[in-house]
Structure 1
């Protein structure tokens, strides 16, 4: 074997090992959250030294070095920053990054429920059935691993259903970071239906941002049961495949990626029926990913492709390219659309009849 081939094999080995050990990233994130490290740094008010962190964690002296190595790993993955201490330039201090700020529990934008749900041992055990699922006839991995769909599993296990609702609510709170910049999209509307809107987190944010807008949340009856609305916010239990309340616009946030093309077209047709009385004024507002490997940076593409795999195995759904979105819109009878890349790895899409 010549030297060039050896270099290529070692590069291949490095790439494989990086993937093989990649499962340690969420595990270490879980470690940090279980110990409350984001909260400790946030409450400290400034970068915290290793000794201060260890003291707050009440770690045995024999494991101080372990904490340092965990934090080095997490800092390399941009979860924390490492600085030199202001008081002692020879000592390292740890600070929050935009990522770890989203793990502080008293933050309005805390995403810890997502981490908890995606690292749950019972749920992640399903991944060991991937080969069996791929060779079999079950539409989703959950059906192979658990004997039911994810929706069925959530109905059977109230604790998981509660956590899933927390996941959706925590993600929805990110919407308010850009909603004030979307006035042209919402300001001319009098009413909107948030389809699959869960416990109403997104709808409440919209109502607060646009005081003249009335919002209806449509979700399954067991999801919206006992939820309290207001004079501008109401909850309706129903099935989006059968009927959607009439409104100026229909919002589909993180909904269509759960479904295959056939079901997406059915949902979009029901949405079209909902806005039909509004003529050209009616529209669909979609918040979801648009895969664009040529224009997106590596991190954003990685997130979208990971989400695509997650949707495939959980729901037989998918993340889509612009062309794939376009084909859905045409299949449902829509003529025009606009894409706004304003939600990080997701975009906002306006769709018109």
Structure 2
């Protein structure tokens, strides 16, 4: 079929050009966010105790006077993006004054619900620059994007780079207060359980939160040796090193938080099969608890679906993926489970309970 490009109206071409430029410059969002966190601007405004003027901000940042205008331009863009709010100050009519928004309050380091480390980790140049190699990756049959750009499997890379390993584990735990807030109304998920294994549970942040609510629950964090070595537990929280593809310790329930999206369908089925073995015995049959995204393009608004699809594309770094309900159902049934239940957890996350 012949192209219709030459028959388009000028207004349609101009609109298409603007749309294309929008995609070209989309990286500016991430880079300005990274700049904001690196400059510690949310903490500066927070510590100021009230909205801060441009001149005060420039003074605290100790940037050259020639860059004051550049700071203003960056702050103007952050305000347009909803990360910062420009407010009016009657005493400073001729100067911009900045306040935090609900979003930028999540970037104030040292406070509850802080996600600044998530920005630092996910936008770290070592890993984020990998996405320049999508073309090369798409022609490789088995290699992940990180295999190509880092020269090794991601988990091997973390094992060989202690600082990246530390940052990754801390980042994976940085949303725990958000998860705790979400789980406040989901205690029914853990009630009646005597034991639980948190597969890929990192340094045990999630375990400590759950053990506070259920002090009689025996909680075992199961992760790579490099993650749990030298970690000390307590009466009801212990750490065990191992390989989830080999075997998983037995328990009433297995918890998988942000684990399965790292892996291909084939690997997820293997992991779930090991989980099924771990919760099934002659005495009782337990369950598997999954905390992940569930894409629902029909019911979600476009912005939420777009975010989930962006996160799905980001998982090519590991040959993993985000999944919709049909894809989750397929994995669950092929792993030998009989039924499942999906409950909303946060704006982004769902809680999936699956039963043998």
Match of 1:82 in 2: 86
Q: Is the 8 A contact 2:115 2:175 kept in 1?
A: yes
Match of 1:348 in 2: 351
List per-residue Cα deviations over 1:126-179 (Å, max 9, x = no partner). Answer: 222221121233421111222211112112211111111111111334211212
- Once the two structures are TM-superposed, the CA of residue 209 in structure 1 deviates from its matched residue by 2.4
Q: TM-score, normalised by structure 2?
A: 0.93
Match of 1:104 in 2: 108
- Structure 1: how far apart are the matches of 2:90 and 2:274? 60
- Structure 2: how far apart are the matches of 1:128 and 1:90? 42
Q: Is the 8 A contact 1:258 1:316 kept in 2?
A: yes
- 1:157-236 correspondence runs (5 A): 157-236=161-240
Number of aligned positions between the proteins: 352
Are 1:44 and 2:84 counterparts? no
Match of 1:31 in 2: 35
Match of 2:131 in 1: 127
- Once the two structures are TM-superposed, the CA of residue 267 in structure 1 deviates from its matched residue by 0.8
- Structure 2, unmatched stretches of 5+, are none
Are 1:315 and 2:318 counterparts? yes
List per-residue Cα deviations over 1:62-95 (Å, max 9, x = no partner). Answer: 2222212111111111111222126556653212
- Structure 2: how far apart are the matches of 1:104 and 1:352? 40
- Once the two structures are TM-superposed, the CA of residue 107 in structure 1 deviates from its matched residue by 1.6
Are 1:297 and 2:301 counterparts? yes
Q: Is the 8 A contact 1:180 1:209 kept in 2?
A: no
SS, match of residue 63 in structure 1: helix
Which residue, 5, 10, 29 being the options, matches 2:14?
A: 10
- Structure 2: how far apart are the matches of 1:306 and 1:45? 35
- Structure 2: how far apart are the matches of 1:4 and 1:335? 54
SS, match of residue 265 in structure 1: helix
Which residue, 245, 249, 256 being the options, matches 2:249?
A: 245
List per-residue Cα deviations over 1:197-222 (Å, max 9, x = no partner). Answer: 01111111111122232210000111
Q: TM-score, normalised by structure 1?
A: 0.94
Match of 1:72 in 2: 76
- Structure 2: how far apart are the matches of 1:250 and 1:170? 21
Please tell me the root mean square deviation across aligned C-alpha atoms, in Å: 1.9
- Structure 2: how far apart are the matches of 1:2 and 1:315? 41
Runs of 4+ displaced beyond 6 Å: none
Which residue, 108, 116, 123 being the options, matches 2:120?
A: 116
- Structure 2: how far apart are the matches of 1:138 and 1:336? 31
SS, match of residue 296 in structure 1: coil
Which residue, 13, 17, 22 being the options, matches 2:26?
A: 22
Q: Is the 8 A contact 2:183 2:345 kept in 1?
A: no
Are 1:267 and 2:271 counterparts? yes
- Structure 1: how far apart are the matches of 2:282 and 2:176? 27
- Once the two structures are TM-superposed, the CA of residue 124 in structure 1 deviates from its matched residue by 2.6
Distance change in 2, residues 1:278/1:232 (3 Å):
farther
- Structure 1: how far apart are the matches of 2:303 and 2:282? 40
